[in-house]
Amino acid sequence: MLFPGAGGYWWRLVHRDTVAAAFKRTATGEHPTVKFSNDPGKETLAGYLRVYGRDDTMIVADESESPQGEPLFVKLVDQGRMVYRESFDEQADRADRTWGRCKRVELSSKVRQWQERFRNMRTEEISQARSRLAKDYSA
């Protein structure tokens, strides 16, 4: 399992694949949401997420929780304007310092509770759908 370093190179005219991260809306207003996947473990995490590093652990927490370590994701754009001001060399230094540092991922208690809640909801929905399909095929 590969955990990329914090602060890969962000520069004008890079492609999405160069940044190698994907973000999806995981909350609407005060309501956490998720995007499910048919591949186990590939669903999104709910909330307004922040990612921190502590020792060899990457911690995913909700913005409402107190900081869980050193921030690993930084704001790049605000209202369509670049607000990220590290030079390319500073980005390279930070990426080198953090590359390979995180050996495991830990969810904060709030994010873990939301994940369990949504997984339970999905399990129940699948069970109900299978039950309905079984009735349809037996008729």
Beta-carbon contacts of residue 98 (< 8 Å; ≥ 6 apart):
5, 6, 7, 53, 72
46 close to 118: Cβ distance less than 8 angstroms: yes
Integer Cα distance of 42 and 127 in angstroms: 20
Ordered per-residue pLDDT tens for the chain, 139 residues: 334 444 444 445 544 444 445 556 678 888 888 777 666 666 778 888 888 989 999 899 999 999 999 888 777 778 888 888 888 788 778 778 877 888 898 999 999 999 899 889 888 988 999 998 888 887 6
Q: How is the chain split into domains, by residue range?
A: 16-138
DSSP assignment of 94-125, as one string? Answer: HHHHHTTT--EEEE-HHHHHHHHHHHHHHHHH
Quick one: CATH architecture of 16-138? Alpha-Beta Barrel (3.20)
